[in-house]
């Protein structure tokens, strides 16, 4: 139960007038409902607020739509984007069938049960994660799709394509194509904006490792956060996307975590650093092991590689995700692990020196995922590797572009489309059901939603098809 006296003190000191309750649907979008502060009482945290689950993507049918959003008192923060001071809580979705209980498709329920399963399998052990958030900032965004037209138009003040722009004051200092990595001001025009974003995140308790301009010359950026336990990182991931998009919006820019918004420019991923830790630190460390990995750490890698194709159905759940996972952009296209090789599915950072945080980086994910489901799926794959002692072999540190066809055949290709990832999930999901973490009901609903995305893209003409076929 919450400390109501402490909350009431905050409400008085900060002159809070409203309580905002935020809850996540199956595909990973936040929704919210706002109530006056007089509604803040023990019953709110015990009973919650009623809602129509049938209106949320992937949730209940209309005849079973009644559900409850119950706020988690440990998630409280002051929302900086409301003109009227507002206190926010992240909620769990509860089912009211028979008796009130966690809804099977509630994403926060999945990550909490994954944590419970981990502690049952390895008592005293936590899953520690550290995602990297890459995104683009644009100054103009237009798109439309109709029966007789379809287009998108994106613009960035710092992009090289604006070097010859006429009719407006142009001071130069454009960022070249694929030339934005750690570029300094004045080419990096949004360093102040990123600092404002990260300061806001620090104010609500999110640890920041750093921020910088990324490779994409047309406004690509990265914010990396400090490592923390999986459940906390799930909530923080939702907050980070919310803060980045809203703060960019109020500064007259548009932020997108879309994996591949621009043709032939780097895509935006969400690489996830991860390890399992007991009270002494990472249990993945062994000074004498391959890549200084312990046997249990190697088994975790083995499980993640064994189930990678199925895991991608949750970590890369958009049709656009697979426009990023192509050769030539430091994106992982084959399922192997390596030390320092950024084209590997799993990279073991070569720069790490602390045994207490010895970790791997799973490179395929992007931020179109539902973080609760994506993080849980990665953990379950790793734990399956530990359970079945799946040996990944030695790290492969070769340059893929220099390997022969025969050598490449020994390294499995990652899914090249959302359809292939969903097909892989349909063949390989038993590891997700362990401990009741995922349910067949949730997986079926996820598959239905995502195949609907595929069908919507499949049935619409693509602009490039006119270039290829219009005069045939």
Q: Determine whether 52 is an active site residue.
A: yes
Q: Which of 431, 373, 441 is nearest to 28 (CA)?
A: 373
Q: Determine whether 366 is an active site residue.
A: no
Strand partners, 293: 285
Active-site hit among 105, 271, 307, 324? 271
Active-site hit among 363, 366, 384, 428? 363
d(CA 270, CA 368): 9
d(CA 470, CA 252): 38
Tokens of 64: 């079973």
Q: Determine whether 271 is an active site residue.
A: yes
Q: Which helix (H) or strand (E) holds 145?
A: strand 140-145
Q: Which of 169, 171, 267 is nearest to 218 (CA)?
A: 267
79 within 8 A of 29, measured Cβ to Cβ: no
d(CA 448, CA 434): 22
Active-site hit among 182, 250, 342, 460? 342
Q: Determine whether 160 is an active site residue.
A: no
Active-site hit among 20, 112, 126, 214? 214
Active-site hit among 25, 157, 224, 361? 361
Q: Determine whether 214 is an active site residue.
A: yes
Judged by DSSP in three states, 416 sits in coil
Burial class of residue 467 in the structure, from the number of CB atoms within 10 Å of its CB (0-12 exposed, 13-18 middle, 19+ buried):
exposed
Q: Determine whether 203 is an active site residue.
A: no
345 within 8 A of 311, measured Cβ to Cβ: no
d(CA 245, CA 348): 31
Q: Which helix (H) or strand (E) holds 212?
A: strand 208-213
Active-site hit among 157, 158, 222, 384? 222
Helices (H), 191-337: 191-203, 230-250, 295-306, 308-315, 321-324
193 within 8 A of 247, measured Cβ to Cβ: yes
For 153-182, b/e burial (b = at least 16 CB within 10 A) is ebbbbbbbebeeeeeeeeeeebbebbebee
Active-site hit among 29, 52, 430, 441? 52
Angle between helices 418-427 and 308-315 (to 10 degrees): 120
Q: Determine whether 222 is an active site residue.
A: yes
Active-site hit among 20, 25, 92, 134? 134
d(CA 284, CA 49): 42
139 within 8 A of 156, measured Cβ to Cβ: yes
For 310-330, b/e burial (b = at least 16 CB within 10 A) is bbbbbbbbbbbbbbbbeeebe
Q: Which residues contact 254 (CB under 8 A, 6 or more apart)?
A: 137, 138, 139, 140, 141, 248
324 within 8 A of 268, measured Cβ to Cβ: yes
Active-site hit among 92, 132, 235, 366? 132
The residues carrying an active-site annotation are 52, 132, 134, 214, 222, 271, 342, 361, 363
């Amino acid at each position: 139960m919450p400390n109501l006296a402490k909350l009431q003190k905050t409400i008085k000191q900060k002159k809070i007038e409203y309580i905002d309750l935020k809850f996540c649907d199956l595909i990973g979008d936040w929704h919210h409902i706002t109530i006056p502060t007089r509604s803040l009482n023990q019953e709110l945290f015990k009973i919650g607020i009623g809602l129509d689950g049938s209106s949320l993507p992937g949730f209940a049918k209309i005849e079973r739509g009644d559900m409850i959003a119950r706020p988690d008192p440990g998630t409280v923060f002051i929302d900086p984007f409301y003109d009227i001071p507002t206190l926010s809580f992240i909620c769990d979705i509860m089912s009211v069938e028979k008796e009130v209980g966690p809804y099977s498709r509630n994403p926060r329920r999945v990550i909490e049960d994954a944590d419970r399963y981990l502690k049952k399998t390895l008592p005293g052990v936590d899953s520690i994660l550290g995602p990297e958030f890459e995104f683009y900032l644009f100054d103009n965004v237009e798109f439309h799709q109709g029966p007789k037209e379809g287009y998108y138009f994106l613009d960035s003040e710092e992009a090289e394509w604006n070097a010859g722009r006429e009719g407006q004051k142009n001071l130069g200092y454009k960022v070249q194509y694929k030339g934005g990595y750690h570029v300094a001001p004045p080419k990096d025009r949004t360093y102040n904006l990123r600092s404002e974003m990260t300061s806001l995140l620090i104010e609500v308790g999110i640890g920041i490792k750093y921020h910088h301009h990324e490779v994409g010359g047309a406004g690509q950026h990265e914010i990396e956060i400090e490592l923390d336990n999986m459940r906390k990182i799930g909530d923080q991931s939702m907050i980070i996307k919310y803060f980045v998009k809203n703060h960019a919006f109020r500064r007259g820019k548009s932020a997108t975590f879309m994996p591949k918004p621009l043709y032939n420019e780097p895509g935006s991923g969400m690489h996830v650093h991860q390890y399992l830790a007991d009270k002494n630190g990472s249990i993945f460390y062994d000074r004498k092991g391959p890549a200084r990995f312990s046997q249990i750490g190697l088994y975790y890698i083995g499980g993640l590689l064994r189930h990678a194709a199925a895991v991608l159905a949750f970590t890369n759940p958009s049709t656009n995700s697979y426009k990023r996972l192509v050769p030539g952009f430091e994106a992982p296209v084959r399922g192997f692990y390596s030390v320092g090789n950024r084209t590997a599915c799993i990279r073991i950072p070569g720069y790490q020196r602390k045994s207490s945080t010895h970790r791997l980086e799973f490179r395929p994910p992007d931020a179109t995922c539902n973080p609760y489901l994506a993080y849980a799926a990665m953990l379950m794959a790793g734990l399956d590797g530990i359970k079945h002692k799946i040996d990944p072999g030695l790290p492969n540190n070769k340059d893929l572009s220099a390997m022969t066809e025969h050598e490449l055949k020994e390294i499995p290709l990652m899914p090249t489309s959302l359809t292939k990832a969903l097909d892989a999930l349909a063949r390989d999901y038993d590891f997700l059901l362990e401990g009741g973490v995922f349910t067949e009901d949730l997986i079926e609903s996820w598959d239905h939603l995502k195949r609907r995305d595929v069908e919507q893209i499949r049935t619409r003409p693509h602009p490039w098809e006119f270039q290829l076929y219009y005069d045939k």
